């Protein structure tokens, strides 16, 4: 554990030994290091776990219509939003939990309890991150804007849930996976199967955050912090896999209802297999592997996100036909800041080239016969 510093001596701030990116964090200017740690920029797993549901929602809403070039911009905006909003959430969590963090060995070296950042400085940093998030929010379609705003109460309340309920992991699941609704609202509309996917991902979060909380069970018991890891006791690993199993079932059901076809089923099975590997590893190699298995859930989430994107790009078979369907106009695609794509002008003849030429030939033949009611070949 680092020796606590005061805000007046931030230059003595030490890079934590358990940082996931110690080299990158140590390369930053000394004055920036505590703030990077406050936003958990040196621990990117949380960013991925917040970002991936957004991509899942986007791909999920594109089943049947395919991806659009504008979706690449949405994905970039989702990533920026995930970085700053996850950082803002961690900053808010550390402000509200500063007394608890000071009593837990794993968290005592965090910037606020260690004295590297004052509470006032933390609030200013929080506002700066929210300002960047606001710029991303401005670029979203109107429905996605409203959906994103509804997540703010969930974020604000989360740090207090561990003090009043044994299920803070469930509240975290409601918060962290809200992006699937934002992603769907950005691409199209939030359909009923989207809610099935959302609640499936909530179960997934309960599973992986229970694994994460295994590291703090003893300290949490001493200071009175509640968690599903403490609630489940010795059966925590088995029960967490049960939640992962439930998540896989809801993901498969949602994908089927949305029309993902076989690719949706294969994605859910691969996700389930990853969860089984996590549980087997924890049971055979011990709970000291908890942090590694928690981080491995980035891979589990990537399986679903990539599977859904592929399913959106691959057309589903609808049976063989002698004649092809008529060409249809693609649905309107939302663009940033409320912009609308240019609409092509209507063709002179709203028929195929064969039909229009045949009509012209028949009209010319009727004119030769002297039929006064025949239309002109130029009409």
* Whether residue 246 has pLDDT greater than 50: yes
Task: Kindly give the residue spans of alpha helices, DSSP state H, lying in the chain.
Answer: 22-27, 33-38, 45-61, 70-96, 98-103, 111-114, 119-139, 142-149, 152-164, 168-176, 179-187, 192-213, 217-223, 228-232, 236-258, 262-285, 290-295, 297-313, 353-368
* Whether residue 52 has pLDDT greater than 90: yes
Angle, alpha carbons 305-88-151 (nearest 5°): 60
Return d(Cα 208, Cα 301) in angstroms, integer: 11
Asked whether the beta carbons of 311 and 63 are under 8 A apart, the reply is yes
Q: How confident is the model at residue 57 (pLDDT cuts 50, 70, 90)?
A: very high
Q: What is the mean pLDDT of the chain?
A: 85
* pLDDT tens track for 183-209: 999 998 999 999 999 999 999 999 999
Q: Which residues of 64-90 are buried (b: 16+ CB within 10 A; e: fewer)?
A: eeebbebbeebbebbbebbbbbbbbbb
pLDDT of residue 338: 59
Return d(Cα 81, Cα 78) in angstroms, integer: 5
Find the range with the poorest average confidence among 98-112, 139-153, 261-275: 98-112
Across the range 88-95, mean pLDDT stands at: 93
* Whether residue 212 has pLDDT greater than 90: yes
Find the range with the poorest average confidence among 11-20, 68-77, 306-315, 343-352: 343-352
* pLDDT tens track for 248-307: 999 999 999 999 989 999 999 999 999 999 999 999 998 899 999 999 999 999 999 999
Residue whose pair of structure tokens reads 């509240």 in the numeric block? 171
Which two tokens mark 252?
């498969």
Q: What percent of the chain has pLDDT over 70?
A: 81
- Measured between alpha carbons, how far is residue 10 from residues 13, 40, 125, 128 in Å? 5, 17, 15, 20
Q: How confident is the model at residue 332 (pLDDT cuts 50, 70, 90)?
A: low
Asked whether the beta carbons of 278 and 244 are under 8 A apart, the reply is yes
3-state secondary structure of 221: helix
Across the range 155-184, mean pLDDT stands at: 94
Return d(Cα 296, Cα 278) in angstroms, integer: 8
């Amino acid at each position: 554990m680092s020796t606590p510093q005061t805000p007046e001596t931030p230059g003595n701030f030490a890079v934590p030994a358990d940082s996931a990116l110690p080299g990158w964090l140590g390369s930053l200017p000394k004055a920036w290091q505590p703030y990077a740690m406050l936003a958990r920029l040196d621990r990117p797993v949380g960013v991925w776990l917040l970002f991936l549901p957004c991509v899942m929602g986007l791909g999920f809403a594109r089943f049947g219509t395919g991806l659009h070039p504008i979706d690449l911009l949405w994905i970039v905006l989702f990533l920026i939003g995930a970085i700053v909003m996850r950082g803002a959430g961690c900053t808010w969590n550390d402000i509200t939990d500063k007394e608890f963090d000071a009593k837990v060995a794993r968290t005592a070296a965090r910037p606020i309890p260690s004295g590297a950042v004052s509470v006032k400085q933390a609030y200013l940093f929080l506002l700066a991150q929210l300002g960047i998030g606001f710029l991303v929010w401005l670029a979203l379609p109107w429905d996605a804007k409203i959906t994103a705003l509804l997540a703010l109460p969930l974020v604000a309340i989360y740090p207090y849930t561990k003090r009043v309920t044994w299920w803070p992991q469930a509240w975290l699941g409601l918060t962290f996976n809200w992006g699937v609704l934002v992603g769907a609202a950005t691409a199209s509309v939030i359909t009923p199967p989207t809610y099935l996917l959302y609640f499936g991902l909530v179960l997934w979060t309960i599973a992986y955050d229970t694994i994460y909380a295994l590291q703090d069970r003893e300290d949490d018991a001493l200071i009175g912090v509640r968690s599903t890891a403490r609630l489940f006791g010795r059966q925590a690993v088995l029960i967490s896999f049960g939640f992962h199993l439930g998540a896989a079932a809801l993901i498969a059901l949602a994908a089927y209802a949305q029309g993902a076809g076989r690719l949706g089923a294969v994605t859910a099975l691969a996700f389930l297999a990853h969860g089984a590997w996590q549980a087997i590893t924890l049971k055979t190699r011990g709970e000291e592997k908890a942090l590694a298995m928690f981080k491995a859930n980035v891979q589990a989430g990537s399986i679903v996100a990539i599977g859904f994107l592929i399913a959106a790009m691959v057309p589903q078979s609808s049976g063989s036909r002698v004649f092809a369907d008529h060409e249809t106009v693609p649905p309107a695609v939302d663009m940033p800041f409320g912009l609308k794509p240019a609409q092509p002008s209507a063709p002179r003849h709203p028929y195929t080239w064969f039909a229009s030429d045949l009509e012209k030939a028949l009209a010319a033949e009727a004119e030769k016969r002297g039929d006064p009611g025949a239309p002109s070949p130029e009409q």
